[in-house]
Amino acid sequence: MKILKFGGTSVGSSERIRSLLPIINSGERKIVVFSAMSGTTNVLTDVADAVTRGDFRSAAEMRDELKERYRRVIGELFSTTDSQEMAERAVEPHFRSMIPNQEMGVSGGADKIIMAQGELITTQLINMFLNESGVNSYHMPALNYMRVDKDGDPDYYYISENIVREMARGCNSNTIVTEGYICRNAFGETDNLKRGGSDYTASIIGSVIGATEVQIWTDISGFRNNDPRYVDNTSIIRELSFDEAAELAYFGAKILHPSTINPARMKGIPVVLKNSMEPDDPGTVISSASVTAEYKAVAAKDSITVIRITSGRMLMSYGFMRKVFEIFELYRTPIDMVATSEVSLSLTVDMHDNMEQIKGELSRLGNVEIEHDQTIICVVGDFRPEVTGAAPEIFQALNRFPVKMISYGASPNSISIIIDSKDKEMALRELHQSIF
């Protein structure tokens, strides 16, 4: 059984949804995961913000504009008046739930409920369209089986127990459709897997049911070896290992959500990145196998902050590193890169919500310097020391740019380098010219 996930651009219009019919109705049994129609999540974020601050009038206006967009899609998508009216009745409760009752007040978690409506509406409409088009599809609500624990990680025991029951209800259908992104938390409340989480949903389902393959369908034909927004003549990478793909996804390649790889890797399930606008293109296959190449791809991650702690007295003393990391753990702030010397420790983060508090805590351990507007340039490939040596082409290409940090040796799959964000585009071009 395969898992197919379609992103927001793949379902972004009635025309795009219609074009998915040959892909979905292939005769194979499958679970199909849908994101919200493109642009929906951004609108719902604004609606949730307005509701949170008590501006119900603005929230209602934005909701009504979104509702009108979906009404047009319904009119274009369904072939009969009866089907159109049935679809409008089916999604109406979802639009009503976007605006809480003002007399009852805004309860905690209202924003998560609002954010969930995009996937709920889109998936319901597509399931109804598939049925009208002769596809025997069954809607399996994600909120009936998808759950995270108190730490926000997938509750695999709960998911596996409940998804079996839900799938059994659709046992007579070759096609089971479900929502990506949304879930319940440890308290049973509506929650989500964060932005881009529909990829994560597909991978979790694939891992739990032991799928033969997880397909991620977007509007791009797989990973490219550099960012085509800044670099000309990039090419598609046809094969990647799980570790290589994880590095690219985490360090800036937007085609895949960074959390997606691990559930599939745990079960050795291939992940295939496909283009819904060019369905015959083979895309990129991510698996436990790997085609060895010194350099595979370059990715860049922006909005990086470098933090340096200098303390000749304490740095190399027993427990110093533990104290530093405990501060970041206290504020639930992940660290990307770390470098040390005899008297200083440098590290990078991409979450800035608690930066002043973190700086205050770190200041007790030594002098703290913070540098914003940095970018991690990550080169992915085969960096085993016995194979590649010092990778001179990379450092020659970046010789003209001030390098703030280097991570080399932590992973056999990548080298990461920190530079000023203003130098990113030129650095990507220089690297592309040098190594490809």
Q: Provide the whole-model pTM.
A: 0.90
pLDDT in tens, 398-431: 999 999 999 887 888 889 999 999 999 999 999 9
Cα radius of gyration rounded to whole Å, the chain: 24
So what's the pLDDT on residue 320? 82
Q: Which fold would CATH assign to domain 2-219?
A: Carbamate kinase (3.40.1160)
So what's the pLDDT on residue 104? 47
Indicate the CATH number of 296-435 among 3.40.50.720, 3.30.2130.10, 3.40.50.2300, 3.40.50.880.
3.30.2130.10
End-to-end CA distance of the chain: 38
Written in H, E and C, the secondary structure of 277-326 is CCCCCCCEEEECCCCCCCEEEEEEEEEEEEEEEECCCCCCCCCHHHHHHH
Query: In sequence order, what E strands does 100-237 have?
Result: 137-139, 175-179, 182-184, 190-192, 213-218
Mean pLDDT of the 96-119 span: 81
Mean pLDDT of the 37-44 span: 95
Q: Are 120 and 114 in contact (CB under 8 A)?
A: no
**283-287-291 Cα angle (round to 5):** 80
pLDDT in tens, 72-105: 999 999 999 999 999 999 999 999 999 987 654 5
Structure tokens at 286: 């991510």
So what's the pLDDT on residue 242? 92
Statement: residue 177 has pLDDT above 50: yes
Please give the Cα distance from 381 to 292 (Å, whole number): 8
Mean pLDDT of the 131-137 span: 95
Statement: residue 389 has pLDDT above 80: no
Statement: residue 253 has pLDDT above 80: no
Average pLDDT, the chain: 91
Q: Are 404 and 374 in contact (CB under 8 A)?
A: yes
pLDDT in tens, 220-248: 999 999 999 999 999 999 999 998 998 88
Of 407, 378, 335, 62, which is closest to residue 247 (Cα–Cα)?
378
One-letter amino acid at 195 equals R
Q: Is the dihedral of CA 46, 51, 57, 61 positive or negative?
A: positive
Least confident of 121-125, 233-237, 245-249, 372-376: 245-249
So what's the pLDDT on residue 119? 97
Question: What is the residue extent of each domain of the chain?
Answer: 2-219, 296-435
Q: How far is CA 192 from CA 7, 70, 107, 167, 186, in A?
A: 16, 22, 17, 21, 12
- Looking at the DSSP assignment, which residues form a beta bridge with residue 218? 275
pLDDT in tens, 305-357: 999 998 766 555 677 888 899 999 999 999 999 998 877 899 999 998 899 99
Q: Which of 161-165, 169-173, 220-224, 313-317 has the highest mean pLDDT?
A: 161-165
- pLDDT band, residue 295 (cuts 50/70/90): confident
Domains 2-219 and 296-435 share a fold: no
